[in-house]
Structure 1
Amino acid sequence: MQYALLGDIHSSIEDLKAVLGHISIEAPHAEVIGLGDLYECTVSKKDLRGQIYPSVNEVIKHPEGFDKLLTFPSVYGNQEERILLLTEHAEPLRDYLHDLSETLSAGEAVIIHGHQWNSDERNAWLNAQIPDKTIVFHGHTHRAGYTRDQQEMLISGRGKISLSGKRNIVNVGAVVGSREWVLFNAEERTVRFMRAQRG
């Protein structure tokens, strides 16, 4: 089974269209899964003062047609958490965001956004919360990369990378700006770091 993993879209409809188009060419039968931060919250973290807005649309970038592209399951990210903090009235978009899971599975791998830990506490958090998972995919930092048994590994081109060792942690990068995504083959236990081109 192949999985196309993408995250940190931040309401960028053009970047999302490019990545979904690239997936349809490179891995048309892959199951697409999102890693959170689908929408961009327009209220920054430092401006949270307990205020409540009457509608989700008042606190997000919401390009026309964007929702129709979100046909894949996703975990929630810190942007979704902030949107929910700023609103409380039931409406379809808020209900959708509220129902997103913290984690999803892709074969034996776990999918999570990655805002749950500080960068220097990642391994301790994973060991405490999901110690049995040997393959973890996340986003949040907008920097593609991966570690094997806590060692940073080199990404070279778009070739297949074998996920061996006791624990592999893969950061899929960001759709917004970078148009990055990862192709995960669960049977082979391999990943390919992918990027949709511009123009």
Structure 2
Amino acid sequence: MSDTALIMIDWQQGFDDLAYWGNRNNPAAEKNGATLLAHWRAKGWPVIHVRHDSTTPQSRLHPDHPGHAFIEFAVPQGEEPIYGKLVNSAFIGTTLEADLRARGIDKIVVCGISTDHCVNTTTRMGGNLGFDVTIATDACFAFDRKLPDGRVFAADLVHDVALASLNGEFAVVKSVAQIIDG
């Protein structure tokens, strides 16, 4: 698995503000993400951190806001690289693709926030770029989403539909336990 990188997407404190973001699903996502990260680190496999560097000053993810910081379990250690992104994909405006290829990495495992936005977009692009992508389904979460006509889609549904649309086309969807068990 030394040719497989764990990509930790947007595990930032600003997503804890549910008054700002709304309802979310999968309250165990952080615990599962921590388990996956600890496993990767114990094996000495490549870990990559991605964070959203919002350009909107009032955003919880703006570099001047405390919410920009990584949550406790996901703080990078040692030489683990950090990629700041301005859009949903970790591949746009960063050297992530080139750096992965330079290291001979052709497989990625993705987890983070949110399932239907940055995890989804990074997964789609990774698949389109030829990477073998796995998503840790229980180490991601989504928020409720609302259409302009007022209909609200619950976070569980948003999460599940996002994963279903990726599975088999852009990635393989597995639980943390399935990923760790190989």
State TM-score, norm by structure 2. Answer: 0.38
Higher helix share: 2
The TM-score normalised by the length of structure 1 is 0.36
